[in-house]
Amino acid sequence: MTGTDTTPHVLVSGGGIAGLALALQLVRQGRRVTVVERATAPRPGGQAVDLRGASREVATRLGLMPAIDRHRVHEEGLAYVDGRGRVFGRMSMADFDGEGAVAEIEIARGDLARVLLDALVAAGDDAPGLLDLRFGDRVTALAQDAEGVDVTFEHGDDARFDLVVGADGVHSATRRLAFGPEEQFATYLGGYAAFFTLPTPDDVEPGWFALRFVPGATFGIRPDLDPSTSKALLTLRVDRDPALRGDRARQEALVRGLLEGAGWHAPTVLDAMPDAADLYFDELVRIDVPDPVAGRVVLLGDAASCGSPMTGQGTATALVGAYLLATHLGATPDDPAGAARRYAADVAPFVETGKKIPGGGIARMVPGSRAEAAVLRATTGVMLSRALRPLVRRMFRAGGEAPSLPVAETAPQPVR
What is the tens place of the pLDDT at every residue in 205-258? 999 999 999 999 999 999 998 999 999 999 999 999 999 999 999 999 999 999
Task: Judge if pTM exceeds 0.85.
Answer: yes
Confidence bin at 388 (pLDDT 50/70/90): confident
Determine which of 101-105, 125-129, 339-343 has the lowest per-residue pLDDT on average: 101-105
Q: Note the CATH architecture for domain 188-285+359-398.
A: 2-Layer Sandwich (3.30)
How high is the pLDDT of residue 8?
A: 84
- 278-307 mean pLDDT: 94
Asked whether the predicted pLDDT for residue 173 surpasses 80, the reply is: yes
Which of the listed ranges 99-113, 257-271, 339-353 does the model predict with the highest average pLDDT?
Answer: 257-271
Contacts of 341 (CB under 8 A, 6+ apart): 293
Res 269 pLDDT > 70: yes
DSSP string for residues in 298-324:
EE-GGGTEE--GGGS-HHHHHHHHHHH
Mean pLDDT of 79-108: 79
pLDDT tens-place string over residues 337-358: 999 999 999 999 888 877 777 6
Residue 180 neighbours by CB under 8 Å, 6+ apart: none
Q: What is residue 46's predicted lDDT score, i.e. its pLDDT? A: 73
Span 83-109, average pLDDT? 77
10-73+106-186+286-355 and 188-285+359-398: identical CATH topology: no
Domain ranges of the chain: 10-73+106-186+286-355, 188-285+359-398
**Residue 326 near residue 411, CB atoms below 8 Å:** no
In the prediction, which pLDDT does 406 show? 63
Render pLDDT for 1-36 as a digit per residue (tens, 0 to 9): 334 455 789 999 999 999 999 999 999 999 999 999
Average pLDDT score over residue span 380-408: 65
In whole angstroms, how far apart are CA 70 and each of 114, 185, 271, 358, 383? 12, 38, 31, 29, 34
Per mean pLDDT, which range of 97-111, 137-151, 225-239 is the poorest?
97-111
Please give the average per-residue pLDDT across 44-69, as a whole number: 86
The CATH code belonging to domain 10-73+106-186+286-355 is: 3.50.50.60
Q: What is the mean pLDDT of residues 105-114?
A: 88
* Distance of alpha carbon 15 from alpha carbon 179, whole angstroms: 20
Whether 374 has a pLDDT exceeding 80, the answer reads yes
Return mean pLDDT, the chain. 88
pLDDT at 138 over 90: yes
Q: Which residues contact 78 (CB under 8 A, 6 or more apart)?
A: 90, 91, 100, 101, 102, 208, 209, 210, 211
- Rounded to 5 degrees, φ, ψ at 200 are -70, 125
Residue 314 pLDDT: 83
Structure confidence at residue 402 as a pLDDT band (50, 70, 90): low
Average pLDDT estimate for 299-313: 86
Which band of pLDDT confidence, cut at 50, 70 and 90, is reported for residue 399? very low
